[in-house]
Amino acid sequence: MKLRKNTLLTTLPLTLAFGMAFGIGCSSDTGKTGPDADSCRGDKCDDLDIPDSEVADSPCDGIITDESGRGNAKVAGRLNDPLANFVFKTGEDCPTTFQDIMAKLRVNDTEGCPDEESGIATRAVSETAQAAGEATNYRLVTSRRCGGRETHELVFSLFGIRAGASSLPGGVEVMAFDKTAGVFNYYETDGQKVHFFGNSHDMAKGAEGNVRRCAACHTGGGLIMKELDTPWVHWEGHMDTPGAGELIDAHADLGSRATGSEFEGVVKKGNKAWNETRLASLRENSSLKEALRPLFCTVEVNLDNGADFESPVEGGAGGSEMSRIGFDSLLDPQLKGFGSISIDFADYDAAIKANGQNIQGLPGAIDTVFDYVFIERAHADNDYVDKLEAAGIINEEFIKDVLMVDFTRPIFSDDRCDLLEFAPVLASADQNPDSIRKGFLDNLANPAAGTPAAELKNNLLTEGGHDTAINAYTTACTDLGSPALVQNALQITSLNRAIAGNLRVFEFPQTMPTDNLSVAQGSRLSPVDCNVTTAFTAVTAAVTNPEPEPEPEPEPATCAHDVCEEGAALTTSTCPENTCVAQICEADAFCCNNSWDNVCVEQVQTVCMQECS
């Protein structure tokens, strides 16, 4: 099949992207996480895909290297974000260090920013300074908000800064938002070159060595911040980080001091903007299966914790003692967002000591400054699912029907993610709650009783009723009593930390505690008794498919034109008898959603193995 030029969002992987302070340039050795499917039709091409001969010259030609996989010689002239517009496309020089970029911004990006530090804010992040209680080393997340733009539109990330550093690194990672295209662009400088790793769409294709390297972390295509819930472990907000204020005050390029609580709002706002584009692109250029992936599968995660304020990292009494396990660590917040189960701090303290819990590289530390760090589904994915619902593609009932499959394993559930294989093939115009529900039921057919597939089918055939199973589960967890609940919850938390800790975005071992527990892969809490199990447990009673009401014979549907002719989009609903249309729709959603162009015609031979005379 011939590839087209525009970025075609395809498979968002189960391999995860998780938020760091601002982890744009996580070095990656990983392979591709999705098919390399570029597409360009008519006005669907963006400026990244036009020939170099059609791109305006810039002072950065030959200095910016295209590592998006396209291999363009001219890069800056294609881009339309604040960094490209104010730094890379103007003047006669091409800055390749953080300091020189900031200097050029002060010359060109002056609207609303008359002074040296105007519009600049920096957040210090440290996995060690808070726990050690002394200045150590930091990552810095700096933004420059001028000209009426939003904070998320230009963000820098500096790494490896020691306490009291007299100078800042020249190398910097940058995310800049193109409001016109609705995407983030990813850059890194090393003092000699500027590397362009592509935009948000490109992240779906995954990293190949240094090509699209940022995709190793930014699987969802947007901003990432691990600690996206209060209190912000490793960030400032509920507590000051030793040495952070002095470091920021010493450098004009860092501007004023900001906090994790402030940046949480920045990340959420930026990702909401990108998710609008993300959904539109997935609907137009990809299958329903990929459009629904963030609902069924774990694409990104965040870190949360069970404390309100800091407590001694060496354990023992004092500070904000762990006194409850929140429901959001036991099941998806979309199913039960509020509430918790009370525990005794002594049980928690004894359990983490017995489990050998520790913070690597911090002698004596057995917990983070905010107790009980656990992994949860990312806000970015939840927002995307909300947008699916707002667009009328799915409804709340369908969301809950899906999340209730293996619901005590809200993240890393292969049982739930594998159900995407039953997603129907539907043109974007036909994607609505009724059609999607019917399509899943048709594809599920008659699954074996007690399997995840049977559970989804029974959920789809049952109106509501999920609260009964949820309440039975939380009651069972409460009835276990504090010691047993703590031990069971810590086993699942330990497993999830281990899975997340192996991902590229978790670059620092001090991010989460480790322990000596050995927990089997696939472990979860039983929805029946809240004990640890590796077995999937169905909770919805079996339901028989109701006999459909007889419908009048419809008028025979006819294709608008032959598959060997270019023309309007052909769909399985308008060409129900043509199996070739169904095959091509599955392989290339553009043919069913937009138009049946020359590439679709060529696929009659390559996909359907039929000849066009």
The predicted structure's pLDDT at residue 285: 84
**Amino acid code (one letter) for 323:** S
Least confident piece of the model among 51-60, 465-474, 587-596: 587-596
Per the model's pLDDT, the better-predicted residue between 21 and 279 turns out to be 279
Question: Quick one: which of 568, 399, 539, 547 has its CA closest to 474?
Answer: 539
Cα 132 from chain centroid (whole Å): 31
Averaged confidence pLDDT in the chain: 88
Task: Find residue 155's DSSP bridge partners.
Answer: 143, 175
Question: Quick one: which of 361, 351, 542 has its CA closest to 457?
Answer: 542
Which pLDDT tens digit goes with each residue over 272-313?
Answer: 999 999 999 988 888 899 999 999 999 999 999 998 888 899
Its pTM stands at 0.84
How many residues are present in the chain? 613
**How confident is the model over 464-491, as a mean pLDDT?**
96
Give the integer Cα–Cα distance in Å for 232 and 115.
31
Per the model's pLDDT, the better-predicted residue between 243 and 238 turns out to be 243
CB 126 within 8 A of CB 241: yes
Map tokens 């900031």 to a residue.
Answer: 102
Which pLDDT tens digit goes with each residue over 338-390?
Answer: 899 999 999 999 999 999 999 999 999 999 999 999 999 999 999 999 999 99
Give the integer Cα–Cα distance in Å for 599 and 381.
33
Helix (H) or strand (E) holding 447: none
Reading across the β-sheet that carries 120-125, which strands appear in turn? 64-66, 194-199, 183-189, 172-178, 154-162, 137-144, 120-125, 256-257
Query: Is 22 a residue whose pLDDT tops 70?
Result: no
The predicted structure's pLDDT at residue 88: 97
Give the integer Cα–Cα distance in Å for 388 and 396.
10
Give the integer Cα–Cα distance in Å for 33 and 46.
23
**How confident is the model over 140-147, as a mean pLDDT?**
97
Which pLDDT tens digit goes with each residue over 91-113?
Answer: 999 999 999 999 999 999 999 99
Which pLDDT tens digit goes with each residue over 190-228?
Answer: 989 999 999 999 998 889 999 999 999 999 999 999 888
The predicted structure's pLDDT at residue 588: 86
The predicted structure's pLDDT at residue 212: 94
Which pLDDT tens digit goes with each residue over 411-432?
Answer: 999 999 999 999 999 999 999 9
Say if residue 4 is exposed, middle or buried (CB neighbours under 10 Å; 0-12, 13-18, 19+).
buried
In three-state secondary structure terms, 261 is helix
The predicted structure's pLDDT at residue 388: 97
Which pLDDT tens digit goes with each residue over 520-559?
Answer: 999 999 999 999 999 999 999 888 766 555 655 655 567 8
